[in-house]
């Protein structure tokens, strides 16, 4: 297989902006990691005019996908988990070209999972967990149990990914296999929700209680990223100001739910700022003061 692809990646390796090339082969009949392609050819470049370019090939009754990815795009995927397969491609991929040990360094960085990267990923997953948990609770209270069940599945998925990150690992596409190995208590929640003999509404009710406990016990640790951003200045933050902050962008869509939760837990406080309108105030946010 590699013999057929060699001319393609050798041509790319000769280009000065190519940093590394990896090959990821399909290992089982159904392979989400490779999008069911027999082989993925990942080419990492610098200064590309197009952040991500994909081309498909067929050969000898097999198929392949070539992904040419700018290093900035790859970094974004890794930091935000917005394209989880990319992390597995880098970690599991076989290196066939490595300029100045770029890929070797990248693999090592992923394995080490630096704390600042971990804090960002925890904030992303925690914000999603807060939002879906709130939606699930609302659906349950209005007796829409099937939709509540669906939302609870999503909530447990975010909790699972969060628990993997807390242990110092990157979540895989098949995250529940990871959770079963390294965080059996969270895996047990999923089993109870999906396989319990209780009625649907009772299962959701029990998981709401368990998830609320899991959220509360993780609040300070998982909100650390947002807390540090907000602590970078003394003045209160307008919501719009926080939403466009570069460090908050990866979870900006879930920021409202996260802020509301932290206000409720008295970690952040809402501060009223007068406007020109009578009895109308801007609602701003700052870390709660202990004095």
For 231-260, the pLDDT digits (tens) are 999 999 999 999 999 999 999 999 999 999
Could you identify the residue written with the tokens 């990319």?
86
Task: Please report, for the domain that includes residue 288, its CATH number.
Answer: 1.10.10.10
Residues 91, 183, single domain; the answer is no
Helix and strand numbers, DSSP H then E, in the chain:
13, 8
Of the three residues 112, 130, 159, the one that is the final residue of a domain is: 112
pLDDT at 1: 65
Of the three residues 77, 93, 112, the one that is the final residue of a domain is: 112
pLDDT exceeds cutoff 70 at 291: no
Residues 62, 26, single domain; the answer is yes
Residues 254, 268, single domain; the answer is yes
In this prediction, residues 219-228 reach a mean pLDDT of: 96
> Are residues 139 and 147 in contact, defined by beta-carbon separation less than 8 angstroms?
yes
In this prediction, residues 149-175 reach a mean pLDDT of: 93
Band of the pLDDT at 176, cuts 50, 70, 90? Answer: very high
Residues 127, 203, single domain; the answer is yes
Task: Please report, for the domain that includes residue 167, its CATH number.
Answer: 1.20.120.330
Please calculate the CA angle 262-268-271 and round it to the nearest 5 degrees. Answer: 125
- Here the tokens at position 288 are 């709660």
pLDDT at 5: 83
Residues 22, 49, single domain; the answer is yes
Residue span of the structural domain in which 125 resides: 113-222
Residues 97, 122, single domain; the answer is no
Band of the pLDDT at 33, cuts 50, 70, 90? Answer: confident
CA-wise closest residue to 198 among 263, 149, 266: 149
In this prediction, residues 272-288 reach a mean pLDDT of: 88
Higher pLDDT, 130 or 87: 130
CA-wise closest residue to 251 among 127, 83, 115: 127
Task: Please report, for the domain that includes residue 65, its CATH number.
Answer: 3.30.460.10
In this prediction, residues 116-143 reach a mean pLDDT of: 97
CA distances from 227 to 79, 239, 267, 288 (A): 18, 14, 9, 10
Residues 262, 289, single domain; the answer is yes
What are the pLDDT digits (tens) for 193-219? 999 999 999 999 999 999 999 999 999
Domain tally, the chain? 3
Percent of the chain with pLDDT over 70: 99
Band of the pLDDT at 224, cuts 50, 70, 90? Answer: very high
pLDDT at 50: 95
Residues 57, 93, single domain; the answer is yes
pLDDT exceeds cutoff 90 at 184: yes
What are the pLDDT digits (tens) for 83-104? 889 989 999 999 999 999 999 9
Of the three residues 79, 112, 145, the one that is the final residue of a domain is: 112
pLDDT exceeds cutoff 70 at 186: yes
In this prediction, residues 26-48 reach a mean pLDDT of: 92
pLDDT mean across residues, the chain: 93
Residues 107, 8, single domain; the answer is yes
Q: According to the per-residue pLDDT averaged within each range, which of 135-139, 195-199, 271-275 is highest?
A: 135-139
């Amino acid at each position: 297989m590699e013999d057929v692809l060699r001319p393609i990646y050798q041509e790319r390796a000769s280009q000065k902006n190519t940093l590394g090339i990896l090959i990821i082969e399909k290992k089982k009949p159904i392979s989400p990691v490779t999008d069911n392609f027999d082989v993925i050819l990942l080419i990492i470049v610098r200064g590309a005019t197009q952040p991500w370019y994909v081309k498909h090939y067929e050969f000898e009754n097999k198929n392949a996908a070539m992904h040419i990815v700018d290093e900035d795009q790859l970094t974004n995927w890794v930091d935000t988990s917005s394209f989880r397969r990319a992390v597995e491609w880098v970690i599991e991929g076989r290196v066939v070209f490595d300029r100045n040990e770029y890929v070797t360094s990248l693999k090592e960085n992923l394995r080490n999972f630096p704390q600042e990267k971990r804090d960002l990923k925890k904030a992303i997953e925690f914000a999603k967990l807060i939002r879906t948990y709130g939606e699930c609770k609302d659906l349950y209270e209005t007796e829409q149990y099937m939709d509540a069940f669906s939302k609870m599945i999503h909530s447990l998925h975010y909790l699972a990914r969060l628990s993997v990150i807390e242990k110092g690992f990157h979540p895989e596409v098949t995250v529940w296999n990871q959770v079963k190995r390294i965080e059996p208590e969270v895996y047990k929640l999923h089993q109870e929700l999906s396989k319990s003999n209780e009625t649907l509404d009772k299962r959701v009710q029990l998981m709401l209680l368990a998830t609320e406990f899991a959220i509360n016990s993780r609040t300070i640790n998982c909100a650390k990223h947002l807390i540090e951003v907000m602590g970078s200045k003394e003045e209160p933050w307008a919501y719009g100001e926080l939403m466009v902050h570069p460090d908050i962008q990866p979870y900006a869509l879930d920021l409202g739910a996260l802020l509301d939760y932290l206000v409720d837990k008295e970690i952040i406080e809402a501060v009223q700022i007068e406007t020109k309108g009578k009895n109308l105030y801007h609602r701003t946010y700052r870390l709660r003061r202990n004095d």
